[in-house]
Amino acid sequence: MRNLLVVCLLVLQSCNQISDRFAPKIGVIEINSVKDNALKIKIDVETSDGSDVYIQYWRYTNAGQTDSVISYSPISRENNLHHLMLVDVNLNTKYNFNVVVQKKSLKRNSKTYHFKTTSKTPWVPYYRDSDSISNVKFDGYLHFHSRQIPGYMFITNGEGKLASYYKNEANFKVSKWTNKETLLGILSNDTLHFTNGKKIIEYDKFGNTLLEIETGKDGIEQSFHHEVDLDANGDVMTLVYNEKIMDLSAVGGTKTDTIKGDGILVLNHKKEIVWQWSVFDVVNPLDDESILKSKNDWLHANGLFKDKQGDYYVSFRNISQVWKINGKTGNLVWKLGGVDGDFKMPDNALFSGQHNIRFTNTNELVLLDNGNLRFKPGYKQSTNSVNMLDINAGAQSRLLTLTLDTVNMQASIKDVVPFPKKYFTHSQGSAEYINDSLVVFCSTNTNRIVFTTPKGELLGNMPLEYSTYRVQYLHEMYDTSYAN
Protein backbone atom coordinates (compact mmCIF):
# COMPACT_ATOMS: atom_id res chain seq x y z
CA MET A 1 0.00 0.00 0.00
CA ARG A 2 2.84 2.32 0.70
CA ASN A 3 3.96 1.77 -2.84
CA LEU A 4 0.49 2.68 -4.08
CA LEU A 5 0.70 5.96 -2.16
CA VAL A 6 3.95 6.76 -3.88
CA VAL A 7 2.37 6.03 -7.23
CA CYS A 8 -0.62 8.23 -6.43
CA LEU A 9 1.60 11.09 -5.29
CA LEU A 10 3.52 10.78 -8.51
CA VAL A 11 0.32 10.99 -10.53
CA LEU A 12 -0.76 14.08 -8.54
CA GLN A 13 2.60 15.69 -9.01
CA SER A 14 2.49 15.15 -12.75
CA CYS A 15 -0.96 16.78 -12.83
CA ASN A 16 0.33 19.83 -10.92
CA GLN A 17 2.89 20.32 -13.59
CA ILE A 18 0.45 20.32 -16.44
CA SER A 19 0.49 24.13 -16.82
CA ASP A 20 4.21 24.19 -16.37
CA ARG A 21 4.41 21.54 -19.00
CA PHE A 22 2.90 23.84 -21.58
CA ALA A 23 4.96 26.91 -20.61
CA PRO A 24 7.86 27.25 -23.06
CA LYS A 25 11.19 25.91 -21.89
CA ILE A 26 14.64 27.45 -21.71
CA GLY A 27 17.75 25.54 -22.67
CA VAL A 28 21.27 26.87 -23.02
CA ILE A 29 21.78 30.58 -22.31
CA GLU A 30 25.05 31.83 -23.69
CA ILE A 31 26.38 35.26 -22.73
CA ASN A 32 29.29 36.82 -24.59
CA SER A 33 31.07 40.10 -25.17
CA VAL A 34 30.86 41.73 -28.57
CA LYS A 35 34.10 42.30 -30.39
CA ASP A 36 35.06 45.95 -30.37
CA ASN A 37 32.12 47.19 -28.32
CA ALA A 38 32.24 47.08 -24.53
CA LEU A 39 28.63 48.21 -24.15
CA LYS A 40 26.95 45.50 -26.18
CA ILE A 41 26.22 42.21 -24.44
CA LYS A 42 25.20 39.30 -26.61
CA ILE A 43 22.89 36.68 -25.08
CA ASP A 44 21.87 33.66 -27.15
CA VAL A 45 18.97 31.63 -25.77
CA GLU A 46 17.64 28.24 -26.75
CA THR A 47 13.89 27.74 -26.11
CA SER A 48 10.91 25.67 -27.09
CA ASP A 49 9.68 26.29 -30.61
CA GLY A 50 7.75 29.44 -31.41
CA SER A 51 8.54 31.38 -28.23
CA ASP A 52 9.16 35.06 -27.64
CA VAL A 53 12.17 35.92 -25.48
CA TYR A 54 13.61 39.00 -23.85
CA ILE A 55 16.05 39.64 -21.02
CA GLN A 56 15.05 41.53 -17.93
CA TYR A 57 18.10 42.93 -16.18
CA TRP A 58 18.60 45.20 -13.27
CA ARG A 59 21.19 46.96 -11.20
CA TYR A 60 20.83 47.83 -7.55
CA THR A 61 21.03 51.48 -6.74
CA ASN A 62 21.69 51.11 -3.01
CA ALA A 63 23.95 49.00 -0.86
CA GLY A 64 21.04 47.15 0.77
CA GLN A 65 19.96 45.93 -2.68
CA THR A 66 16.36 47.03 -2.14
CA ASP A 67 16.21 49.66 -4.88
CA SER A 68 16.90 48.74 -8.43
CA VAL A 69 16.52 49.97 -11.96
CA ILE A 70 15.00 47.33 -14.25
CA SER A 71 15.60 47.34 -17.98
CA TYR A 72 14.46 45.05 -20.77
CA SER A 73 16.30 43.96 -23.86
CA PRO A 74 14.71 44.23 -27.30
CA ILE A 75 12.48 41.18 -27.85
CA SER A 76 13.11 38.20 -30.13
CA ARG A 77 9.90 36.70 -31.46
CA GLU A 78 8.61 33.24 -32.47
CA ASN A 79 11.75 31.23 -32.63
CA ASN A 80 13.61 28.48 -30.82
CA LEU A 81 17.07 30.01 -31.09
CA HIS A 82 17.21 33.66 -30.07
CA HIS A 83 20.08 36.09 -30.61
CA LEU A 84 19.46 38.85 -28.12
CA MET A 85 21.59 41.87 -27.42
CA LEU A 86 21.61 44.34 -24.55
CA VAL A 87 22.16 47.81 -25.99
CA ASP A 88 21.53 49.85 -22.87
CA VAL A 89 24.12 49.04 -20.21
CA ASN A 90 26.60 51.20 -18.33
CA LEU A 91 30.28 50.66 -17.72
CA ASN A 92 31.62 49.15 -14.52
CA THR A 93 28.22 47.94 -13.36
CA LYS A 94 27.01 44.64 -11.96
CA TYR A 95 23.71 43.49 -13.43
CA ASN A 96 21.41 40.61 -12.48
CA PHE A 97 19.31 39.11 -15.20
CA ASN A 98 16.58 36.60 -16.04
CA VAL A 99 15.69 35.23 -19.41
CA VAL A 100 11.94 35.66 -19.87
CA VAL A 101 10.33 33.29 -22.36
CA GLN A 102 6.67 33.57 -23.31
CA LYS A 103 4.26 31.93 -25.66
CA LYS A 104 0.65 33.10 -25.74
CA SER A 105 -0.20 33.71 -22.07
CA LEU A 106 2.32 31.26 -20.66
CA LYS A 107 5.52 32.72 -19.32
CA ARG A 108 8.65 31.35 -17.72
CA ASN A 109 11.56 33.14 -16.03
CA SER A 110 14.98 31.58 -15.91
CA LYS A 111 17.07 31.48 -12.77
CA THR A 112 18.76 34.77 -11.89
CA TYR A 113 22.27 35.17 -13.26
CA HIS A 114 24.60 38.13 -13.21
CA PHE A 115 27.36 39.78 -15.16
CA LYS A 116 29.60 42.80 -14.72
CA THR A 117 30.44 45.21 -17.51
CA THR A 118 33.89 46.46 -18.50
CA SER A 119 35.19 48.86 -15.89
CA LYS A 120 36.42 51.59 -18.21
CA THR A 121 36.90 52.27 -21.92
CA PRO A 122 39.61 54.90 -22.06
CA TRP A 123 39.91 54.50 -25.82
CA VAL A 124 36.39 55.85 -26.26
CA PRO A 125 36.47 59.65 -26.24
CA TYR A 126 33.57 60.88 -24.20
CA TYR A 127 33.51 63.35 -21.35
CA ARG A 128 35.51 63.64 -18.23
CA ASP A 129 33.69 65.30 -15.37
CA SER A 130 30.60 63.42 -14.29
CA ASP A 131 30.13 65.61 -11.20
CA SER A 132 29.29 68.53 -13.43
CA ILE A 133 25.83 67.08 -14.16
CA SER A 134 25.02 65.75 -10.72
CA ASN A 135 22.07 68.20 -10.58
CA VAL A 136 20.67 66.96 -13.87
CA LYS A 137 18.61 63.78 -14.02
CA PHE A 138 15.93 62.99 -16.55
CA ASP A 139 14.04 60.17 -18.22
CA GLY A 140 15.37 59.29 -21.63
CA TYR A 141 18.67 59.54 -23.45
CA LEU A 142 20.91 61.89 -25.41
CA HIS A 143 22.48 61.10 -28.74
CA PHE A 144 25.62 62.85 -30.05
CA HIS A 145 28.88 62.00 -31.78
CA SER A 146 32.59 62.59 -31.54
CA ARG A 147 34.31 64.28 -34.46
CA GLN A 148 37.64 62.54 -34.40
CA ILE A 149 39.20 59.50 -36.03
CA PRO A 150 38.04 56.87 -35.22
CA GLY A 151 34.56 58.31 -34.99
CA TYR A 152 32.00 57.47 -32.35
CA MET A 153 28.24 57.91 -32.02
CA PHE A 154 27.05 57.92 -28.42
CA ILE A 155 23.87 57.44 -26.46
CA THR A 156 24.02 58.58 -22.84
CA ASN A 157 21.29 58.08 -20.27
CA GLY A 158 19.56 60.60 -18.03
CA GLU A 159 22.34 60.33 -15.45
CA GLY A 160 24.96 61.20 -18.02
CA LYS A 161 26.24 57.62 -18.14
CA LEU A 162 27.27 56.17 -21.44
CA ALA A 163 24.62 53.62 -22.48
CA SER A 164 25.63 52.76 -26.03
CA TYR A 165 28.27 53.63 -28.59
CA TYR A 166 28.97 52.89 -32.23
CA LYS A 167 32.41 53.16 -33.75
CA ASN A 168 33.60 53.78 -37.27
CA GLU A 169 37.18 54.01 -38.55
CA ALA A 170 36.20 57.29 -40.25
CA ASN A 171 34.86 60.40 -38.61
CA PHE A 172 31.18 61.21 -37.94
CA LYS A 173 30.49 64.77 -39.06
CA VAL A 174 26.76 64.68 -38.43
CA SER A 175 24.58 62.00 -36.89
CA LYS A 176 20.93 61.38 -36.16
CA TRP A 177 18.82 58.88 -34.23
CA THR A 178 15.90 58.21 -36.57
CA ASN A 179 12.19 57.51 -36.20
CA LYS A 180 12.94 53.87 -37.14
CA GLU A 181 15.32 53.39 -34.16
CA THR A 182 18.36 53.48 -36.41
CA LEU A 183 21.41 55.73 -36.41
CA LEU A 184 22.42 57.72 -39.45
CA GLY A 185 25.76 59.41 -39.89
CA ILE A 186 27.68 61.42 -42.46
CA LEU A 187 31.21 60.08 -42.53
CA SER A 188 34.49 61.53 -43.68
CA ASN A 189 38.13 60.61 -43.42
CA ASP A 190 39.37 64.07 -42.67
CA THR A 191 39.25 65.96 -39.40
CA LEU A 192 39.37 69.38 -41.01
CA HIS A 193 35.92 69.99 -42.42
CA PHE A 194 33.25 70.26 -39.81
CA THR A 195 30.10 68.94 -41.37
CA ASN A 196 30.47 67.37 -44.78
CA GLY A 197 31.47 63.97 -46.05
CA LYS A 198 31.22 61.54 -48.91
CA LYS A 199 29.51 58.69 -47.17
CA ILE A 200 26.24 58.11 -45.34
CA ILE A 201 25.98 55.12 -43.06
CA GLU A 202 22.99 53.69 -41.23
CA TYR A 203 23.25 51.32 -38.27
CA ASP A 204 20.54 49.50 -36.38
CA LYS A 205 20.68 49.84 -32.62
CA PHE A 206 22.70 46.63 -32.38
CA GLY A 207 25.45 48.13 -34.52
CA ASN A 208 24.73 46.24 -37.74
CA THR A 209 25.25 48.29 -40.89
CA LEU A 210 21.96 48.66 -42.76
CA LEU A 211 22.91 51.05 -45.52
CA GLU A 212 25.97 52.72 -47.01
CA ILE A 213 25.67 55.45 -49.62
CA GLU A 214 28.80 56.87 -51.18
CA THR A 215 29.45 59.89 -53.35
CA GLY A 216 30.60 58.73 -56.76
CA LYS A 217 28.81 55.38 -56.49
CA ASP A 218 25.33 54.26 -57.49
CA GLY A 219 24.89 57.34 -59.66
CA ILE A 220 25.15 59.75 -56.74
CA GLU A 221 27.57 62.54 -57.55
CA GLN A 222 27.03 65.03 -54.74
CA SER A 223 28.69 65.07 -51.33
CA PHE A 224 26.56 65.24 -48.20
CA HIS A 225 26.52 67.86 -45.50
CA HIS A 226 24.91 69.09 -42.27
CA GLU A 227 21.79 66.95 -42.23
CA VAL A 228 20.80 63.34 -42.61
CA ASP A 229 17.54 61.81 -41.40
CA LEU A 230 14.79 59.39 -42.32
CA ASP A 231 11.47 60.85 -43.43
CA ALA A 232 8.11 59.34 -42.52
CA ASN A 233 8.40 56.87 -45.41
CA GLY A 234 11.74 55.65 -44.12
CA ASP A 235 13.66 57.28 -46.98
CA VAL A 236 16.99 58.97 -46.34
CA MET A 237 16.96 62.74 -46.75
CA THR A 238 20.13 64.79 -46.72
CA LEU A 239 21.57 68.12 -47.76
CA VAL A 240 24.02 67.96 -50.67
CA TYR A 241 26.37 70.30 -52.49
CA ASN A 242 25.41 71.03 -56.10
CA GLU A 243 27.84 72.74 -58.41
CA LYS A 244 26.73 75.09 -61.14
CA ILE A 245 28.96 76.56 -63.78
CA MET A 246 27.90 80.12 -64.63
CA ASP A 247 29.05 83.23 -66.38
CA LEU A 248 29.97 85.57 -63.55
CA SER A 249 31.90 88.03 -65.73
CA ALA A 250 29.20 90.66 -65.12
CA VAL A 251 30.20 90.79 -61.45
CA GLY A 252 33.93 90.43 -61.96
CA GLY A 253 34.24 86.64 -62.16
CA THR A 254 35.09 84.42 -65.09
CA LYS A 255 32.84 83.25 -67.89
CA THR A 256 32.84 79.71 -66.52
CA ASP A 257 32.84 80.26 -62.82
CA THR A 258 31.76 77.49 -60.44
CA ILE A 259 29.27 78.11 -57.67
CA LYS A 260 28.77 75.60 -54.90
CA GLY A 261 25.18 75.71 -53.70
CA ASP A 262 22.91 73.54 -51.62
CA GLY A 263 20.43 70.88 -52.56
CA ILE A 264 18.10 68.32 -51.03
CA LEU A 265 18.45 64.66 -51.94
CA VAL A 266 15.99 61.95 -50.90
CA LEU A 267 17.02 58.33 -51.44
CA ASN A 268 15.30 55.05 -50.70
CA HIS A 269 17.08 52.04 -49.27
CA LYS A 270 17.77 50.73 -52.77
CA LYS A 271 19.79 53.96 -53.21
CA GLU A 272 17.34 55.21 -55.81
CA ILE A 273 16.71 58.94 -55.93
CA VAL A 274 13.18 59.60 -54.74
CA TRP A 275 13.24 63.39 -54.91
CA GLN A 276 15.78 66.14 -55.35
CA TRP A 277 15.95 69.87 -55.30
CA SER A 278 18.60 72.48 -55.89
CA VAL A 279 18.84 76.04 -54.68
CA PHE A 280 19.66 76.99 -58.28
CA ASP A 281 16.10 75.92 -59.21
CA VAL A 282 14.61 78.82 -57.28
CA VAL A 283 17.14 81.65 -57.04
CA ASN A 284 19.66 83.19 -59.39
CA PRO A 285 23.17 83.59 -57.97
CA LEU A 286 23.57 86.79 -59.98
CA ASP A 287 20.91 88.40 -57.78
CA ASP A 288 23.38 88.10 -54.91
CA GLU A 289 25.76 91.04 -55.16
CA SER A 290 28.42 89.31 -53.09
CA ILE A 291 28.30 86.06 -55.06
CA LEU A 292 32.02 86.21 -55.90
CA LYS A 293 32.88 86.13 -52.22
CA SER A 294 30.40 83.43 -51.30
CA LYS A 295 30.52 81.23 -54.40
CA ASN A 296 32.49 78.48 -52.64
CA ASP A 297 29.71 77.91 -50.16
CA TRP A 298 26.78 79.99 -51.28
CA LEU A 299 24.07 80.51 -48.61
CA HIS A 300 25.41 77.57 -46.55
CA ALA A 301 22.44 75.36 -45.73
CA ASN A 302 22.81 73.74 -42.31
CA GLY A 303 19.46 72.15 -41.46
CA LEU A 304 16.62 70.28 -43.18
CA PHE A 305 13.19 69.33 -41.90
CA LYS A 306 10.18 67.71 -43.59
CA ASP A 307 6.71 68.35 -42.20
CA LYS A 308 3.68 66.06 -42.14
CA GLN A 309 2.35 67.59 -45.34
CA GLY A 310 5.56 66.61 -47.10
CA ASP A 311 7.03 70.10 -47.48
CA TYR A 312 10.66 70.84 -46.68
CA TYR A 313 12.30 73.54 -44.59
CA VAL A 314 15.92 74.50 -45.13
CA SER A 315 18.01 76.63 -42.80
CA PHE A 316 20.61 78.88 -44.47
CA ARG A 317 23.29 80.17 -42.18
CA ASN A 318 24.88 82.84 -44.37
CA ILE A 319 21.62 84.72 -44.80
CA SER A 320 20.09 83.79 -41.42
CA GLN A 321 16.95 82.53 -43.14
CA VAL A 322 14.64 79.53 -43.09
CA TRP A 323 12.98 78.66 -46.40
CA LYS A 324 9.88 76.59 -46.98
CA ILE A 325 10.12 74.45 -50.12
CA ASN A 326 7.05 72.81 -51.66
CA GLY A 327 7.67 69.06 -51.37
CA LYS A 328 6.06 68.31 -54.72
CA THR A 329 6.93 71.19 -57.02
CA GLY A 330 10.16 72.34 -55.38
CA ASN A 331 8.89 75.93 -55.43
CA LEU A 332 10.08 78.38 -52.82
CA VAL A 333 6.99 79.05 -50.68
CA TRP A 334 8.37 81.62 -48.28
CA LYS A 335 11.50 82.96 -46.60
CA LEU A 336 11.67 83.71 -42.90
CA GLY A 337 14.19 86.05 -41.26
CA GLY A 338 17.26 87.78 -42.63
CA VAL A 339 17.19 91.01 -44.63
CA ASP A 340 14.51 90.04 -47.16
CA GLY A 341 12.27 87.62 -45.27
CA ASP A 342 8.57 87.42 -46.15
CA PHE A 343 7.38 87.62 -42.54
CA LYS A 344 6.98 90.65 -40.34
CA MET A 345 8.95 89.93 -37.18
CA PRO A 346 9.56 91.78 -33.92
CA ASP A 347 13.27 92.53 -33.40
CA ASN A 348 13.63 90.06 -30.59
CA ALA A 349 12.34 87.26 -32.84
CA LEU A 350 15.09 87.76 -35.40
CA PHE A 351 17.68 85.03 -35.41
CA SER A 352 21.19 84.83 -36.73
CA GLY A 353 23.36 81.95 -37.92
CA GLN A 354 20.60 79.57 -36.75
CA HIS A 355 20.76 75.75 -36.57
CA ASN A 356 18.63 72.72 -35.73
CA ILE A 357 15.32 73.84 -37.26
CA ARG A 358 12.12 71.80 -36.87
CA PHE A 359 8.38 72.16 -36.40
CA THR A 360 6.50 70.98 -33.34
CA ASN A 361 3.29 68.94 -33.45
CA THR A 362 1.45 72.20 -32.89
CA ASN A 363 3.14 73.73 -35.92
CA GLU A 364 5.57 76.09 -34.23
CA LEU A 365 9.04 76.60 -35.62
CA VAL A 366 11.80 75.75 -33.15
CA LEU A 367 15.46 76.55 -33.74
CA LEU A 368 18.77 77.34 -32.12
CA ASP A 369 19.44 81.03 -32.66
CA ASN A 370 23.22 81.09 -32.51
CA GLY A 371 22.97 84.87 -32.14
CA ASN A 372 26.29 85.46 -33.80
CA LEU A 373 25.51 88.91 -35.22
CA ARG A 374 25.78 87.78 -38.79
CA PHE A 375 22.50 89.55 -39.01
CA LYS A 376 20.69 91.94 -36.76
CA PRO A 377 18.11 94.67 -37.42
CA GLY A 378 19.64 97.68 -39.12
CA TYR A 379 23.00 95.99 -39.08
CA LYS A 380 23.66 94.38 -42.38
CA GLN A 381 26.52 91.98 -42.31
CA SER A 382 29.73 93.68 -43.26
CA THR A 383 33.24 92.61 -42.56
CA ASN A 384 34.76 96.06 -42.92
CA SER A 385 32.80 98.02 -40.40
CA VAL A 386 33.09 95.49 -37.61
CA ASN A 387 35.11 96.81 -34.73
CA MET A 388 37.46 94.08 -33.65
CA LEU A 389 36.56 94.46 -30.03
CA ASP A 390 32.82 94.33 -30.31
CA ILE A 391 32.34 91.37 -32.61
CA ASN A 392 30.22 88.90 -30.76
CA ALA A 393 30.98 90.64 -27.47
CA GLY A 394 27.90 89.97 -25.40
CA ALA A 395 26.53 87.62 -28.06
CA GLN A 396 24.13 85.02 -26.79
CA SER A 397 22.69 81.80 -28.21
CA ARG A 398 18.98 81.08 -27.64
CA LEU A 399 16.42 78.35 -28.10
CA LEU A 400 13.67 80.10 -30.01
CA THR A 401 10.09 78.93 -30.58
CA LEU A 402 8.20 80.99 -33.15
CA THR A 403 4.54 81.01 -34.12
CA LEU A 404 4.11 81.61 -37.84
CA ASP A 405 0.90 83.23 -39.06
CA THR A 406 1.08 82.40 -42.77
CA VAL A 407 -2.11 84.30 -43.56
CA ASN A 408 -0.94 87.67 -42.30
CA MET A 409 2.73 86.69 -42.77
CA GLN A 410 3.57 87.56 -39.20
CA ALA A 411 6.08 85.70 -36.99
CA SER A 412 6.00 86.07 -33.23
CA ILE A 413 7.86 84.61 -30.28
CA LYS A 414 6.11 81.84 -28.39
CA ASP A 415 9.03 80.94 -26.14
CA VAL A 416 12.66 81.81 -25.74
CA VAL A 417 15.42 80.24 -23.63
CA PRO A 418 18.49 82.49 -23.45
CA PHE A 419 21.60 80.42 -22.73
CA PRO A 420 24.46 81.50 -20.47
CA LYS A 421 26.73 83.82 -22.45
CA LYS A 422 29.85 81.86 -21.62
CA TYR A 423 28.49 78.97 -23.66
CA PHE A 424 27.76 81.12 -26.73
CA THR A 425 28.36 79.08 -29.87
CA HIS A 426 28.93 81.20 -32.95
CA SER A 427 28.54 78.20 -35.22
CA GLN A 428 26.92 74.75 -35.14
CA GLY A 429 25.00 73.39 -32.15
CA SER A 430 21.44 72.49 -31.22
CA ALA A 431 18.93 73.00 -28.45
CA GLU A 432 15.67 71.43 -27.32
CA TYR A 433 13.43 70.84 -24.36
CA ILE A 434 13.95 67.50 -22.57
CA ASN A 435 10.90 68.12 -20.40
CA ASP A 436 9.00 71.12 -19.05
CA SER A 437 11.76 72.03 -16.63
CA LEU A 438 14.91 71.00 -18.47
CA VAL A 439 16.54 72.23 -21.69
CA VAL A 440 19.60 70.72 -23.37
CA PHE A 441 21.87 72.97 -25.41
CA CYS A 442 24.76 71.73 -27.51
CA SER A 443 27.39 74.45 -27.46
CA THR A 444 29.66 73.06 -30.14
CA ASN A 445 32.22 75.85 -30.01
CA THR A 446 32.85 75.40 -26.31
CA ASN A 447 32.60 71.60 -26.55
CA ARG A 448 29.90 71.40 -23.96
CA ILE A 449 26.51 69.83 -23.60
CA VAL A 450 24.80 72.40 -21.40
CA PHE A 451 21.66 71.88 -19.30
CA THR A 452 19.50 74.80 -18.24
CA THR A 453 16.08 75.64 -16.88
CA PRO A 454 13.51 77.08 -19.32
CA LYS A 455 14.73 80.49 -18.13
CA GLY A 456 18.24 79.65 -19.25
CA GLU A 457 19.68 79.18 -15.76
CA LEU A 458 22.62 76.83 -15.78
CA LEU A 459 22.03 73.41 -14.19
CA GLY A 460 25.09 71.53 -15.38
CA ASN A 461 27.28 70.70 -18.32
CA MET A 462 29.07 67.75 -19.88
CA PRO A 463 32.53 68.72 -21.21
CA LEU A 464 33.23 66.65 -24.32
CA GLU A 465 36.62 65.45 -25.44
CA TYR A 466 35.89 66.16 -29.11
CA SER A 467 33.20 68.30 -30.64
CA THR A 468 29.76 67.17 -31.79
CA TYR A 469 27.62 68.94 -34.39
CA ARG A 470 24.52 68.61 -32.26
CA VAL A 471 22.85 66.73 -29.40
CA GLN A 472 19.51 64.97 -29.76
CA TYR A 473 17.13 63.99 -26.97
CA LEU A 474 15.55 60.51 -27.21
CA HIS A 475 12.54 59.72 -25.10
CA GLU A 476 13.36 56.01 -25.39
CA MET A 477 15.61 53.78 -27.44
CA TYR A 478 12.94 51.22 -28.16
CA ASP A 479 9.46 50.23 -26.99
CA THR A 480 9.41 47.71 -24.12
CA SER A 481 5.64 47.33 -23.66
CA TYR A 482 5.98 43.57 -24.21
CA ALA A 483 7.50 43.31 -20.73
CA ASN A 484 4.38 44.51 -18.96
Partner 1 sequence: MREKNLFKITSYYLFCICFIALSGCSDDLEEELKGQLSESSISTESDAVALIDGIYNGFLDGGWGYYASGVLARATDGITDVFVLNDTKYRNLETYNWTDEDIVSDLWASIYTVVDRANWAVLLIEGIDESAFSDVTKEELLAEAKFLRGLAYYDLTGLFGDVPLKLEPTKSDEVGLARTAVETVYEQIEADFEYAVTYLPGRSYTPGKASKGAAYGFLAKTQLRQLKWAEAGVNIDNLIALGDYNLFTESNFLELFYESNVLDDEFIFSIMSLGESYSTASNHHLKFFTPWGYDTGWATVGLPVNIYNEIETGDERNEVYFEEYPYLYGGATKNAIDDFGFAINRKFGSYNRDVTAPGTGYVAYQNYGISKMGVPVLRYSDVLLLKAEIENELNGPSTEAYNAINQVRNRSGLPNLTEGLSADGFRAAVLKERAIELAGEGQRKDDLIRQGVFVSTLNQYAQEQGYSVTITEDYQLMPIPRTELDLNPNMEPNPSNNF
Kind and range of the H or E element at 18?
helix 18-22
Residue 4 vs 250, nearer CB to partner 1? 4
Which range touches partner 1 (CB under 8 A), out of 15-23, 258-266, 268-276, 452-460?
15-23
Which 137-196 positions form the footprint of partner 1 (CB under 8 A)? 148-150, 169, 191
Q: How far is the CB of 148 from partner 1 (least distance, A)?
A: 8
Residue 79 in contact with partner 1, rule: CB under 8 A? no
DSSP 122-148: TTS--BS-GGGGTT---SSEEEEEE-S
Give Cα separations from 237 to 234, 259, 366, 389, 446 (angstroms).
Answer: 9, 23, 20, 41, 29
Taking alpha carbons only, the member of 86, 83, 81, 73 closest to residue 38 is 86
Residue 122 in contact with partner 1, rule: CB under 8 A? yes
- Angle at CA of residue 368, ends 364 and 373, nearest 5°: 120
Phi and psi torsions of 54, nearest 5°: -145, 170
Residue 466 in contact with partner 1, rule: CB under 8 A? yes
Phi and psi torsions of 317, nearest 5°: -70, -45
Residue 23 vs 322, nearer CB to partner 1? 23
SS3 296: helix
Q: How far is the CB of 123 from partner 1 (least distance, A)?
A: 5
Taking alpha carbons only, the member of 291, 289, 282 closest to residue 314 is 282
Q: How far is the CB of 228 from partner 1 (least distance, A)?
A: 22
Q: How far is the CB of 238 from partner 1 (least distance, A)?
A: 24
Which range touches partner 1 (CB under 8 A), out of 40-48, 213-221, 249-257, 325-333?
40-48
Write the interaction track for partner 1 spanning residues 379-418; mark x where CB under 8 A is met and - where it is not: ---------x------------------------------
Q: How far is the CB of 350 from partner 1 (least distance, A)?
A: 25
Q: How far is the CB of 182 from partner 1 (least distance, A)?
A: 22
Size of the site for partner 1 (CB under 8 A): 61
Integer Cα distance of 375 and 384 in angstroms: 14
Residue 65 vs 112, nearer CB to partner 1? 112
Residue 21 in contact with partner 1, rule: CB under 8 A? yes
Residue 197 vs 263, nearer CB to partner 1? 197
Integer Cα distance of 351 and 339 in angstroms: 11
Residue 63 in contact with partner 1, rule: CB under 8 A? no
Which range touches partner 1 (CB under 8 A), out of 264-272, 312-320, 350-358, 444-452?
444-452
Tell which one of 216, 346, 377, 463 touches partner 1 (CB under 8 A).
463
Q: Are 54 and 77 in contact (CB under 8 A)?
A: no
Which range touches partner 1 (CB under 8 A), out of 123-131, 243-251, 276-284, 314-322?
123-131
Residue 31 vs 333, nearer CB to partner 1? 31
Output the CA torsion 319→325→330→331 (10° steps).
-80
Residue 34 in contact with partner 1, rule: CB under 8 A? yes
Cβ neighbours around 80 below 10 Å, total:
15
Q: Are 477 and 156 in contact (CB under 8 A)?
A: no
- Type of residue numbered 199: K
Q: How far is the CB of 203 from partner 1 (least distance, A)?
A: 17
SS3 sequence of 358-396: EECCCCCEEEEECCCCCCECCECCCCCCCCCCCCCCCCC
The site for partner 1 (CB under 8 A) is made up of 3-4, 6-7, 10-11, 13-14, 17-18, 20-21, 25-38, 41, 46-48, 92, 110-111, 113, 115-125, 128, 148-150, 169, 191, 388, 444-448, 463, 465-467
